[in-house]
Amino acid sequence: MEKEVKFSLVFRDMWQSAGKYQPRVDQLVKVAPAIIRMGCFDRVETNGGGFEQVNLLYGENPNKSVRAWTKPFHEAGIQTHMLDRALNGLRMSPCPKDLRKLFYKVKKAQGTDITRIFCGLNDPRNVIPSIKYAKEGGMIAQASLCITHSPIHTVEYYVNLAKTFIDAGADEICLKDMAGIGRPESLGKITAGIKAYKKDIIIQYHSHAGPGFNMASILEVCKNGCDYVDTAVAPLAWGTGHADIIAVQEMLKDAGFKVKEINMEAYMEVRTQIQEMMDDFLGYYCPDLNRLNNSLLVKPGLPGGMMGSLMTDLEENLASLNKWKVKHNQPELSTDEILVKLFDEVAYVWPKVGYPCLVTPFSQYVKNLALMNVIQMEKGKERWSMIADNIWDMILGKSGKLPGEVAPEIVEMAKAEGREFMTSDPQENYPDDLDEYRKKMEANGWELGEDDEELFEYSMHPSQYEAYKSGKAKADFEADLAKRKAAKNAPAAGAAMPETITVSVNGQNYKVNIAYGDAAPAATSAPAAGAPVAAGDGEDIIAPLEGKFYRVKNAQETPKNVGDAVKAGDVLCYIEAMKTYNAIRADFDGVITAIPLNSGDSVEEDDVIMKIKRA
């Protein structure tokens, strides 16, 4: 009897691996019938980590999007699945227990069947509670093995990890080869080892095409008992994304597996609609390099799902670095030059911080740390001179147990800064806070939403949700998109470029100014979270890097205000860059005399973010 292999379309990850944003809900609902008519998919990845946060960033309600997007697949008998970051839920930072429990109830009510639970540290203490909460919420709990290649991550390591998850109640196992650097032979042995332990356990294989292993890996895991394979559709197949369904289906058919046929007319319709979405706005956030396979990725092992945002962020970081180099009469770096430096530094940093699997958020942490090292060293400063608090939390064990040992020089740095390593359950570090967010929503007159979904969204993504509710997120996105369109479609040199656009937010029009190059935009009439404070006496506190300014990063923190006394070492505010909150601390005792920014405002390196008068 032929072994059947079923297919999943990773529509969410297709976009995340290509660029920064996801399609709008109207685009998703429009493409769903064609995906269904293709006839080859038993599962579709509809939402999860990254998807819902970026909805907020361009001003769309992710809860309404998920409900509308999952509905047609349910009606067609196709299972929907999502990506779930275990302790971190849908975000980069850890979640309290009460939010994690609400998470699965909300997602099940919205129409998501399967949750793919993963921890970048492969720490069972983070994954097992999510298995329990997911099953209590009525979802299918698919526990992931985050695949990477290191002296620690052996076949035996992964088979034993799968056994632990199965014994804890996992319904399925996912081999999450997020960077596509799993070696085919080893992946086959891992699959066989899991099936030998529990013959009827469902195994789903997820891999990225970038480094070049994944077609061989797909064939190998299927020969050893894999049940589902994640695939993509052109023009978002291959590159930093996933193998195209046509190639995978033909390969497995030739190998003697039972697979479903593809309705090619529907395939071409899906392909056409994806291209239309890219032409509409999404393509402006899909760097060309992400459309190519690149075996340079074998060495750093960076995941495909991160490469979309990495290349977009890198444009801004490289521009900022080159601005500094021009100012200091140094030659500028090209994109290729900084990429090679970055990849080499990732390979250097990774073992030093204990071999965390390079998947969200730890891939971003390692990449950010490596990029900061590169930038600082390019400026003649020391390696390790800027480590964000989120990264320290990973190093110190606050997010879970690292697979390997932290390098002695970093241990010494931690001790010198008074930082303590910990071995306790990570969840203990994050107290329940849903009641605090419930009170804040009531104070603002905001609805908790159907099945408490708005409460969930606010608690999960507080800063982004506030920017969404105020209209700031949409205004900022529209202004950025207009700038990108103008730059890409620039007329002949010397011709006039648009200086303003009009953005509609909640039925009200706002004029937004656009700046090009090094120019600063004029003041905009878009609403802000609070009026800027007039400049006062004191010394300038400047931004050490480019990003977005936030006064706090969660509901437990009290924002600093003008007139507050601060001590040296106190956290003043945060700059969020590359999905990491970098704490800005006071260098001396004093009193805050000015805060010229609002939360969510963009800042460049060396911008003044506060003034403090020395005590």
pLDDT band, very low/low/confident/very high, at 544 (cuts 50, 70, 90):
confident
Q: Does the structure show a pLDDT above 80 at 522?
A: no
pLDDT band, very low/low/confident/very high, at 319 (cuts 50, 70, 90):
confident
Q: What is the C-alpha to C-alpha distance for residues 421 and 354, in angstroms, rounded to an integer?
A: 13
56-65 confidence digits (pLDDT tens): 888 899 999 9
Q: Does the structure show a pLDDT above 50 at 209?
A: yes
Q: What is the DSSP string of 221-275?
A: HHHTT--EEEEB-TTSBSTTSB-BHHHHHHHHHHTT-B-----HHHHHHHHHHHH
- What pLDDT shows up at residue 508? 53
185-197 confidence digits (pLDDT tens): 999 999 999 999 9
- What pLDDT shows up at residue 143? 98
Percent of the chain at pLDDT > 90 equals 63
- What pLDDT shows up at residue 547? 84
The partner residues of 539 in beta bridges, in order of sequence, read 612
Contact yes or no for 391/369 (Cβ under 8 A):
yes
Give the β-pairing of 547-550 and 571-577. antiparallel
Higher pLDDT, 496 or 238: 238
- What pLDDT shows up at residue 520? 44
pLDDT band, very low/low/confident/very high, at 606 (cuts 50, 70, 90):
confident
Q: Which of 27-41, 399-413, 554-568 has the lowest mean pLDDT?
A: 554-568
List alpha helices for 154-183, DSSP H.
155-167
* Average pLDDT of the segment spanning 253-275: 97
- What pLDDT shows up at residue 546? 80
Q: Per-residue b/e over 199-225, b at no fewer than 16 CB within 10 Å?
A: eebbbbbbbbbbbebbbebbbbbbbbb
Higher pLDDT, 493 or 355: 355
Which domains does the chain carry?
6-290 (3.20.20.70), 539-614 (2.40.50.100)
Closest of 83, 579, 565 to residue 308, by C-alpha: 579
Closest of 215, 216, 212 to residue 181, by C-alpha: 212
The whole-angstrom distance between residue 328's C-alpha and the CA centroid of its chain comes to 34
Q: What is the C-alpha to C-alpha distance for residues 302 and 154, in angstroms, rounded to an integer?
A: 18
Q: Please tell me whether residue 202 adopts helix, strand or coil conformation.
A: strand
Burial of 530 (0-12, 13-18, 19+ CB in 10 A): exposed
- What pLDDT shows up at residue 327? 86
Q: Residue 406 carries which side chain, given as an amino acid letter? A: V
Task: Supply the DSSP symbol for 297.
Answer: G
Residue linked to tokens 């965390």 = 356
- What pLDDT shows up at residue 425? 95
Q: Does the structure show a pLDDT above 70 at 503?
A: no
The encoded tokens of residue 395 equal 């190093």
409-430 confidence digits (pLDDT tens): 999 999 998 999 999 999 999 9
Q: Which of 77-81, 215-219, 220-224, 278-282 has the lowest mean pLDDT?
A: 278-282
- Expressed in angstroms, the distance from the first to the final Cα of the chain is 81
Closest of 369, 277, 270 to residue 32, by C-alpha: 270
Give the β-pairing of 202-207 and 228-231. parallel
- What pLDDT shows up at residue 118? 96
Contact yes or no for 371/578 (Cβ under 8 A):
yes
The encoded tokens of residue 209 equal 């095409």
The encoded tokens of residue 210 equal 């970038």
Residue linked to tokens 């990429």 = 339
Q: Please tell me whether residue 591 adopts helix, strand or coil conformation.
A: strand
* Average pLDDT of the segment spanning 480-498: 71
Half-sphere exposure of 326 (CA within 13 A, CB side): 7
The encoded tokens of residue 138 equal 């009525």
Give kind and range of the element (H or E) at residue 109: helix 97-110
The encoded tokens of residue 355 equal 């071999």
Answering whether pTM is above 0.75, one says: yes
Q: What is the DSSP string of 405-436?
A: PBPHHHHHHHHHTT-----S-GGGGS---HHH
- What pLDDT shows up at residue 509? 52
Higher pLDDT, 169 or 491: 169
- What pLDDT shows up at residue 534? 43
* Average pLDDT of the segment spanning 399-408: 94
Phi, psi of 213 (to 5 degrees): -90, -20
Radius of gyration of the chain (CA): 24
Q: What is the C-alpha to C-alpha distance for residues 56 and 399, in angstroms, rounded to an integer?
A: 25
Dihedral of alpha carbons 6, 11, 14, 16, sign: negative
- What pLDDT shows up at residue 487? 83
- What pLDDT shows up at residue 532? 42
- What pLDDT shows up at residue 513? 52
96-115 confidence digits (pLDDT tens): 999 999 999 999 999 999 99
Q: What is the C-alpha to C-alpha distance for residues 60 and 506, in angstroms, rounded to an integer?
A: 11
Q: What is the C-alpha to C-alpha distance for residues 142 and 311, in angstroms, rounded to an integer?
A: 30
- What pLDDT shows up at residue 190? 98
pLDDT band, very low/low/confident/very high, at 528 (cuts 50, 70, 90):
very low
The encoded tokens of residue 411 equal 């241990």
- What pLDDT shows up at residue 517? 47
Q: Does the structure show a pLDDT above 50 at 220?
A: yes
* Average pLDDT of the segment spanning 232-236: 95
Q: What is the C-alpha to C-alpha distance for residues 210 and 120, in angstroms, rounded to an integer?
A: 20
Q: Which residues contact 183 (CB under 8 A, 6 or more apart)?
A: 149, 213, 217
Contacts for 185-189 with beta carbons within 8 Å, 24 or more apart? 185/220, 186/155, 187/147, 187/217, 187/220, 187/221, 188/220, 188/221, 188/223, 188/224, 189/155, 189/224
Higher pLDDT, 453 or 536: 453
- What pLDDT shows up at residue 321? 86
* Average pLDDT of the segment spanning 534-562: 82
Contact yes or no for 285/20 (Cβ under 8 A):
yes
Mean pLDDT estimate for the chain: 88
